Chains A and B, each alone.
Chain A
Amino acid sequence: MISLAGRDILHAWGKFVFTGVGLGLLIGVTLTMAGVYRGMVDDAKVLLSNSGADLWVVQKDTLGPYAESSSLYDDTYRGILGMPGVARAANVTYLTTQVRHGDRDVRAMVVGILPNGPGEPGYLVAGRQITRSHYEAVADIATKFKLGERIQIRRNRYTVVGLTRRMVSSSGDPMVFIPLKDAQEAQFLKDNDAIINQRGRTAANPAFNRPGVPGLLDAVIASQSGNPFVNAVLVQIKPGFTAEEVADPIRRWKRLQVYTRAQMEEILVAKLIATSSKQIGMFLVILAIVSAAIVAFIIYTLTLGKIREIAVLKLIGTRNRTISSMILQQALGLGVIGFVVGKISATFWAPMFPKYVLLEPGDAARGFIATMVICALASVLAIRAALKVDPAEAIGG
């Protein structure tokens, strides 16, 4: 038996291809939306992987350092180093800010790290790691900085000594790594006017400027000028210990919040990007409905254009099953054309997006199945119309 659907598609291939391309662009947008969500999840996981940490120690009762702000004294890590199962511990700060580069700004997450400590970028694509205590930076290539270029973070200038890749924040901003001390200063540094003003206020306070207590005022001012805080302590555990085995004593004895990798993933994926994922989910639902409506409308219109032929087919003995199959195959054919166009389009334009778009084969497979199901459902209306056609319509009168 010849394929009636195939012949009809070949006969009116222009109509099918153009319709398929239109549908395909819609499917491409749908796949891209799914890719945007996957990219966000992947960014979150990459953020955790690249930190090199097994545990995140943060301020008690916070979801820091990524989902909420967290502040710890920068000597906290010393006590943590003495806890059982801790191999390495290092302070880290995170600050999302505009980084000046020539006459343009780049939004980036500035990470303060200790050289050779947890939190340092795992690999570089060019240059070297930070070796000096000040004014060196390693940047993600998404910032488009070049080796040797000078960038400005707050009031200080840094030289880009290394380039890394796929080091992004959970919101997709590229990371710029700078020495911890510089990062602490950048986070809490006030402008000169504010410092002078604060010193004046402190000096005017009789509690801090007591006659007969030399050095008190200087000590208070010194404590106000420095920044002894970091956002988190990244901990690597010794082999043979589980994350929970190490985390529990820190929670109990240091009165700090400790998150394992699984817990941190839960925070990032389920909490930090939950609203975004719902937003994207809504888009996907709407796009699926729009796609279904378009396919249904197209197949219905194509079927109505063949009412006389369908009447003739029924009159000469064609089974309803054959006619239904023809319409269903055309709907599925349209879906296949649309999906191929959509997949190619999404693959083509995904790298152009400013944030990472991850097109997973699993999503493509699910998208293909969804497209086929939508097309099959969309053909029901047309099949019903075709089955209602009276073969007597082929005979005049």
Chain B
Amino acid sequence: MADMQENGIHIEGLRKRYGEGDTAVDALKGVDMRVAPGEVVGLIGPSGSGKSTLLKCLGAVIEPTAGRMTLGSDVIYEDGWKIPDLRALRRDKIGFVFQAPYLIPFLDVTDNVALLPMLAGRSNAESRKRALEILDALDVAHRARAMPSQLSGGEQQRVSIARSLVNHPPVILADEPTAPLDSERALAVIRILNKMARQYNTAIIVVTHDEKIIPTFKRIYHIRDGQTHEEVGEGRAFE
């Protein structure tokens, strides 16, 4: 784990082809990306550029066609999955933050967050303790017993971030996490993600269309026609 936290996520020549023959579509055409621990990078691109496909490949939800993907020192994909239990990989090594918070509506805030460590086999007490620590770090501990429907949009997104962090994964994939939020709350979410990335030494990839948060990234990957181009961002709000 420590090794993973030292190396972050690294992908080389990642390809994804949908379909076969004449109808085949190359969604990713050799993507290279490296995100260091504690770093937050932006992944931007127009619709159909391959953002979601890349995110799904990184999240071990769909299988790439070729390339190499490493998490820390572990190769997780190289012309085939190298990890037998992708479900456990997603649970323990990858955090997800979605466009909408997608909290489980019938679990309170604490249990929404504590569910992941519980699924990983930790005791209920330990899982809840961890959840409360993360919620406290995200300033939503006072809403620990509330149900998701009782939270504001910003609070829900913070709980969602807490859920993604609770197992201390080396990488977090955030899929347009600020889309439903106004500028102030959107910037607050990005600020939190940066803080958490530093605090937990986590590599965070933020997929976004949101013009107001793009200037906050220090590094940005542009994706177009299935290929990425790296550029240096402004890193405005966090200096």
Contact = CB atoms under 8 A, between A and B. Distances in A.
A associates with B: yes
Interface of A: 1-2, 4, 7-8, 10-12, 308-309, 312-319, 322, 390-392, 394-397
Given A1-B119, A316-B91, A391 B61 contact: yes
Given A2-B111, A8-B106, A395-B61, 12 more contacts: A4-B106, A7-B111, A314-B87, A316-B116, A317-B120, A318-B119, A322-B119, A392-B61, A395-B52, A395-B98, A396-B176, A397-B56
Interface string B101-122: 0101111000100111011100
Main secondary structure of the interface of B (DSSP, over half): helix
Interface in B63-108: 87-92, 96, 98-99, 102, 104-107
B163 interface: yes
A391 to B, nearest CB: 5
B107 A7 contact: yes
Contacts of A8: 106
Contacts, number: 85
B175 A395 contact: yes
B107 A397 contact: no
7 contacts: A1-B118, A4-B106, A314-B87, A317-B92, A317-B119, A394-B102, A395-B55
Contact of A396 (B61, B62, B92, B175): B175
Contacts of B90: 315-317, 391
Given A1-B118, A394-B102, A317 B59 contact: no
A12 B59 CA distance: 32
Greatest chain A CB density within 10 A among B53, B61, B91, B107 is at: B61
Contact of B106 (A10, A318, A397): A10
A11 B106 contact: yes
Given A309-B102, A322-B119, A316 B61 contact: no
Contacts of B176: 396
Contact of A317 (B52, B87, B99, B104): B87
A185 B59 CA distance: 94
